[in-house]
Chains A and B, each alone.
Chain A
Amino acid sequence: MMTRAQLRRFLLEGIGLLLLSVLVVLGGFFLSSGNHASRRQEEYIARFASVLTADRFEILNTSVLSDYPDINSVYMGYDDEGSPVGYVVDITTIPDGRALHMLVGIDYENSVITGIQYLNDVDNPYPITDLVIQSIKGRLEGERIPIAFVEEETDTVIDEEVIPSTQYVDGTYYAQEFEDDKLGYIDYVEIEIEGGVITRVQWDAFNMDPTTENRSAASLSGAYEVSGLDWATQSYNVCHALLEWQDPEKLAMKSDGTTEIVDGVTCNISAFVQLSSECLENARYGFNKHNYYKGLDEILIKLFGSDAEELGYLNDNGFVVFSFKEYPEVYTIYGEANEDGEAEAIGYLNLRQIVNGNPGEDDDQEEPGEATPVPEIAPDTTHDGSEDGRINTGRESDQILTDSIDDLPMTEIATRITPVNNAYNETRQVVHVCNTCYKFLKDYLNWLV
């Protein structure tokens, strides 16, 4: 056992040790803090170089951050005179259970995005290809926050009642034009159906000339021009409209092939309407993309004795690049021949009808496939005479227009962009990230918007 004197001595030694450690820790901290600060600034400057140029960064320490759990940290950049130049927001959102980690640079004066960096440094990262992120950056950098799409998707969950009564078999369906257009493009539409609902739509066109890029790519590079927005964006918009409305007829195509009810779409959509209708009809019979290609092969074998691959009609992307312009008899129904022996075309067959036979001729030839059950709603055949807007009487949910995005009123939106082609969700997530930064800065600076 320790005596009282030993205990007293022990305590004194302990206090001595503590004082010595205070000296060592404080001395070490202050002696090394100069190195520490300059090294940290070098790290910040290097790390944030792609999103904001500044001479010095300071981390923001504010209680407002606790309201934004997605934001990891926020840094303020200063120039060499000490004036603030902008913010860098380090943010991680979790869309679809996967982490999207980004750095967003925002200008101090006018809340313009100075840079965006996608960081692939987390477990289970949200997948965005370099090409897509570059395209998204191209659309967002230099723009003011907050941001919305030119035609923002409504936050309203698709009501079961808006699902058409048609029963579709789940799968991927495909249809392409039999003939190429005057520029050599063959339109095609691909539709994916899950749970009886259209979940993905793609409309594009490949060219008879293998050296010519697809129409959407050509429109983005400027090689293919249409009036209004670029064709790729118009294609996206009309695909998105079909996703939302689930019925090509609701696109209200006019006799000249245009529509006025899909914002930003001024091009001729007749090929899209025809091909998407064909896809959906195929979907009723379970005639999927694989069957379609097999059907194409069967026709080519009948005509030439070989399939597409053997004939060299398959391009690098797997499309059958062949125009039936010279073989209209394949898909045309002719009436009775006149006196001159010439018959008039009275109708056209789609590929499934060619392969399986025209149901109009013999209804027993085809049986619909086993469809995913969906709520049976009587089709709304009521028309109000207007084709200039989407009006569905009696369906209040259809008439809800988007009035907010990311909990921001649309009136507050400073910039509207079009999503990157075939990367709607990715663009949407990045826009969400930018809008979260905006909301934080608004709270932090107590902006009066």
Chain B
Amino acid sequence: MNDRKLAPFIHTYKNAPYIYLTIIVALLPCVFYSWFYYGIRAIVLTSVSAILFSVSDRTFSKIVHAHNDKDYYDISSVASGVIFAMMLPPDTSLIVVVTGVLFGSIVIKQLFGGAGSNLLNPAAGARLIVEVLYPSHITGFAEGGGEHWFDFMSLVSFSQTTGEATDCSKLSFLELIAGNYSGFIGTACVLTALLGCVFMVIKGTMRLYAPISYLISLGIFYQIFVPEGTFVVFLLSSGVVFVAVFMLGDLTTMPSRFAAGAFSGLVCAFLTAVLISSQSLVIAILTPVLAVNFMSFVIDYFAKTLSRRKHTSREVDVL
């Protein structure tokens, strides 16, 4: 660990800090949307989640002596913290945030070797565990907007439902695409997720194979498994675009090759469509992401040519 150095043949500045810095910047539109729409609550949720994720990662790696001062500063924790916060309802207690962050940081990330070594997406794992542990305390879809900008009691009250999620089938297209309704604080506005996506693609830190495959396949499978639903409404209101961009485009936990990425997206979409009718939205969307994360090494292995299967390392050939 102490001798960790960049390989001499790498001549790119697109190293890990650069990639995660890009993701953090790509998250800015979503963060701005959440802060603008939900005010103090979103600011606190995002900040606490990001800071706590970093502190937890750093503390744990120091405790187990996995960290060295010569190592690069791991800002992937900030990205994970922000992504996790973006998928929370506005009236979420800080207890929920702490639980999710500690689970995502320690169990999902650090126990598997820390930054770059985790099998699963820490933010997805964190969000899923709080959905399972606190099903009735993570449904606070209170109204956003100016008059609620300074509301903050929900952060400390650990109350149950404070508002219902909007029935999105009644929303106009403009409201849906602008995120002008009660939803998860950072995923409701599709436009902001797409802005982040464009930024990462331009900066070359995102693979589009899996996200595109996922969204197209989901469109098909959704019609099959949820014939009574409207896919456009689901696409714009469920947060799948955010998940596609910031989870399925992840370089660490998703397969690196075109065929493998496309296949992963397809599998993920299939599982989501199957689960959507019987499970909560978060479980239906994030469980397939974790399942694909688990399978990504296998999928990647079989996507390699026979001669290259001897190489155990994963490639980071971006685009």
Contacts and interface: CB of A to CB of B under 8 A. Distances in A.
Interface of A: 1-3, 6, 10, 13-14, 17-18, 20-22, 24-29, 31-33, 35-36, 39, 43, 59, 61, 66, 69, 72-73, 123
A25 B171 contact: no
A72 B18 CA distance: 46
Task: Give 7 closest A-B pairs by Cβ, nearest first.
Answer: A28-B178, A21-B29, A32-B174, A14-B25, A32-B180, A35-B172, A32-B175
Contacts of A61: 147-148, 151
B141 to A, nearest CB: 13
A272 to B, nearest CB: 45
A26 B36 contact: yes
A31 B189 CA distance: 14
B174 A35 contact: yes
Contacts of A123: 136
B233 interface: no
B137 to A, nearest CB: 12
Nearest to B35: A25
B9 interface: no
A20 B195 contact: yes
Interface in B1-58: 13, 15, 18, 21, 25-26, 28-29, 32-33, 36-37
A28 B174 contact: yes
Given A32-B175, A39-B175, 9 more contacts: A13-B199, A14-B25, A21-B28, A22-B32, A29-B36, A36-B180, A36-B181, A39-B172, A73-B163
B310 interface: no
Contacts of B147: 59, 61
Chain A contact surface mostly:
helix
Given A20-B195, A25-B189, A59 B143 contact: yes
A13 B13 CA distance: 16
Most buried by B among A6, A25, A73, A123: A25
B28 A28 contact: no
Contacts of B189: 25, 28
Given A25-B29, A61-B147, A1 B15 contact: yes
Most buried by B among A26, A32, A72, A73: A32
B192 A1 contact: no
Contacts of B162: 72
B170 interface: yes
Contacts of B151: 61
Contact of A18 (B32, B153, B171): B32
A17 B13 contact: no
Nearest to B13: A2
B32 A36 contact: no
A66 B147 CA distance: 16
A25 B151 CA distance: 21
Nearest to B18: A2
